[in-house]
Amino acid sequence: MSVRAQPSGSRTRPARRRPAARKNPDRPGSGRIQWDRLGRVLLVLLVFGLLASYVSPLINLARTYRSAGATKVELHRVQAVNDQLERRVKHVKGDSVLRREARRQGMIVPGEQAYVVNGIKP
């Protein structure tokens, strides 16, 4: 057996050994991380998180779709009222209607003689 001389002041420590994994005969490899199983679990959680992030936009889309339908109904109603009012404006701009309204306000046609009668009580 040979003895080696060590430099003074330095001690060597024996290498630390990792404790052996406990072996359970019912579950082989139970002391180690099963990376394939962990990867599958993380992948399922990721897919679930992505699907959950789509819930709120889908709800907003459904609300917008329903709101658009109600808005279209209101638009058609307002367009019908607008068409009716435009027809009325075209009718009122006619000459006979303008003359009748002018007479009611006391206007006369150029060259016409105007008479004022006082003292008549209705």
Report the pLDDT value the prediction gives residue 16, as an integer from 0 to 100: 74
Q: What is the pTM of this model?
A: 0.40
Cα separation of 16 and 35, whole Å?
Answer: 26
- Contact assessment for residue 31 and residue 23, using Cβ atoms and an 8 Å cutoff: yes
Report the pLDDT value the prediction gives residue 40, as an integer from 0 to 100: 93
When comparing pLDDT for 7 and 113, which is higher? 113
- Contact assessment for residue 81 and residue 87, using Cβ atoms and an 8 Å cutoff: no
- Contact assessment for residue 67 and residue 73, using Cβ atoms and an 8 Å cutoff: no
Give tens-digit pLDDT for 33-88.
Answer: 888 999 999 999 999 999 999 999 999 999 999 999 999 999 999 999 999 999 98
Report the pLDDT value the prediction gives residue 90, as an integer from 0 to 100: 86
Query: What average pLDDT does the chain have?
Result: 83
Mean pLDDT computed over 82-101: 88
Q: Helix 35-53 to helix 55-92 angle, to the nearest 10 degrees?
A: 20
